[in-house]
Amino acid sequence: MNRRGDGVWVFGYGSLIWRPDIPFREQRVAYAQGWTRRFWQGSHDHRGLPHAPGRVVTIVPGTGVSCGGMAYFVEVAAICETWDELDDREKNGYQRETVRLTFRGGASDGTAIGAADGAVYVAPVGNSAWLGPAPFPEIARQILRSEGLSGTNIDYMRQLAGALRRFGIKDDHVFRLERHVEDLARQARSRENRR
């Protein structure tokens, strides 16, 4: 699946951007064509609990859109190890699919320098942890109160937004949600300080 003679491109659009934890030979900023990132997947393990899920990202198909992230080239010798690691990490409703990737040129320009198929983990609509769309304030409140074995949901959101900025990747959905979450966090701190 997704093989070029000596390996596979693996595309990350969430925590894989800042914490890949897989053996890779090369990494590049890349865009999955025809997909967009959304905080519509529940996290009952990493950033929430079974009775109180957090919200993490998945990608959903769309027309005329693309999702920016990081592509990692994994050599043939490390593919089995990589699938084992990622299958466990992405077990809460995600499945492996193939997407078309375009690679960005230099750090500051958006020119494409090539394309390839890549493997990506997608949480499809209706999976066992699917939460789906909701108003931004509602998603923000859920993120602010959620925590799981990998830490707080707000930390996940901050790490993602920070990584996207570092790599010059624009994402209106993530950045708009970040503003809502940070406003709520400031209000909560202000209430605490008045006590």
Determine the 3-state secondary structure of 97 from DSSP: strand
| Distance, CA of 157 to CA of 178 (rounded, Å) | 7
Dihedral of the CA atoms 150, 35, 92, 41 (nearest 10)? 70
- Which residues are paired to 70 by β-bridges? 12, 29
Burial (0-12, 13-18, 19+ Cβ within 10 Å), 149: exposed
Listed in sequence order, the DSSP H helices in 39-171 are: 79-89, 136-145, 153-166
Phi, psi dihedrals of residue 5, rounded to the nearest 5°: -40, -40
What does the block give as tokens for 4? 């070029």
Reply yes or no on whether 90 is catalytic: yes
Q: Which one is catalytic: 26, 75, 81, 90?
A: 90
Q: So which residues are the catalytic ones? A: 90
